[in-house]
């Protein structure tokens, strides 16, 4: 039976958990097994997630779920790995954590960008999506685009550390002094509700769910362009470059899975579906710009 094991549901606990597991899944000169072989033998694999709904998060009962973990669990089962050990990590620490061997896959809906492609090996994307802002109810500042914020130096924009939105903002002319960089979704929502930021930027689905869970805020209309450039982000799963066997086995099954009836049924409860299927390949995304 497929189970999900969660570790590190408080960031203090993460340090202890991932510190003890720092070498799990990494391949040293004397290692007899690849990461894939070891995961198949032990029956589970560690994945990093950032508690960002609907991409990858823990339920109140401690179950790891969301678009990325559920797709990962389905694909991993097809390649002989029946259990997933979730390691909660701040979004900006996911790639360093992967490279340090704290977990073996990032399952957090991470956007595939050229900068990230220089550090990790991405699977093919599992979804494509646009952007939106979280604003105070009634949108009193009239914020609709990044340009709205760039044109008013008094406005503050909350973005998540390590996410792509800070780059989108800068490309639109938003100054660093206008950016409020925070670690997670909860702090973004709190900043807008408390007036420390006039808006928070994330993908349209994340903002929609944040608006539904928090009083006194709402989502702006989704948009797909910033400063004349597409911001249709495509998310995938990240692997260490040296874990070729694991990456190839996972990616081959993922390509067959995404867009299937089983896939659509699995991700629809998280707000995804046929309208969110990827429209670009990882090769195109890694070479974009």
Domain boundaries, the chain: 3-128+234-287, 131-230
Decide: 120 and 241 in contact? Cβ < 8 Å.
yes
Identical fold for domains 3-128+234-287 and 131-230, yes or no, is yes
Sign of CA dihedral 257, 262, 263, 266: negative
How far from 204 is each of 160, 185, 238, CA to CA, in Å?
14, 13, 22
Contact criterion met (CB below 8 Å) for 55 and 65: no
pLDDT at 20: 37
- How high is the pLDDT of residue 24? 43
The backbone torsions φ and ψ at residue 283, rounded to the nearest 5 degrees and listed phi first, read: -60, -45
Domain 3-128+234-287 has CATH 3.10.20.30: no
pLDDT at residue 152, rounded to an integer: 98
Fold for domain 131-230? D-Maltodextrin-Binding Protein; domain 2 (3.40.190)
**Do the strands 44-49 and 83-88 form a parallel or antiparallel pair, or are they unpaired?**
parallel
Tell me how crowded residue 200 is: count the other CB atoms within 10 A of its CB. Answer: 29
The CA distance from 39 to 56, in Å, is 21
End-to-end, the C-alpha distance of the chain in Å comes to 44
Per residue in 209-250, pLDDT tens? Answer: 999 999 999 999 999 889 888 888 999 999 999 999 999 999
pLDDT at 253: 98
Q: Measure the CA–CA gap between 180 and 159, rounded to whole angstroms.
A: 6
Q: What is d(CA 101, CA 201) in angstroms, rounded to the nearest whole number?
A: 30
207 SS3 class: helix
Find the helix or strand (DSSP H, E) in which 176 lies: none
pLDDT under 70 in the chain at which residues?
1-31, 289
């Amino acid at each position: 039976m497929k189970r999900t094991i969660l570790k590190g549901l408080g960031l203090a606990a993460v340090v202890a958990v991932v510190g003890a597991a720092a070498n799990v899944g990494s391949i040293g000169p004397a290692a007899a097994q690849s990461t894939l072989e070891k995961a198949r033998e032990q029956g589970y694999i560690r994945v990093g997630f950032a508690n960002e709904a609907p991409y990858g998060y823990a339920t109140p009962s401690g179950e790891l779920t969301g678009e990325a973990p559920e797709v990962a669990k389905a694909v991993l089962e097809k390649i002989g790995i029946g259990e997933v050990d979730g390691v909660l990590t701040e979004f900006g620490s996911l790639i360093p954590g992967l490279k340090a061997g704290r977990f073996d896959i990032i399952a957090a809906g991470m956007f595939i960008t050229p900068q990230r492609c220089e550090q990790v090996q991405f699977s093919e994307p599992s979804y494509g999506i646009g952007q939106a802002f979280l604003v105070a109810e009634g949108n009193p500042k009239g914020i609709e685009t990044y340009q709205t914020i760039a044109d008013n130096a008094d406005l503050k924009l909350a973005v998540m550390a390590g996410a792509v939105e800070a780059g989108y903002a800068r490309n639109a002319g938003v100054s660093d002094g206008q950016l409020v960089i925070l670690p997670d979704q909860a702090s973004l929502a709190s900043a807008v509700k408390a007036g420390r930021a006039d808006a928070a930027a994330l993908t349209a689905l994340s903002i929609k769910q944040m608006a539904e869970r928090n009083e006194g805020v709402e989502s702006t209309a989704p948009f797909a362009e910033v400063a004349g450039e597409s911001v249709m982000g495509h998310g995938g799963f990240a692997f260490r470059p040296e874990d070729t066997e694991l990456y190839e086995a996972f990616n081959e099954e993922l390509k067959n899975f995404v867009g299937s009836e089983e896939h659509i049924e699995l991700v629809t409860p998280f707000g995804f579906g046929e309208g969110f299927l990827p429209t670009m390949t990882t090769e195109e995304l890694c070479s974009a710009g």
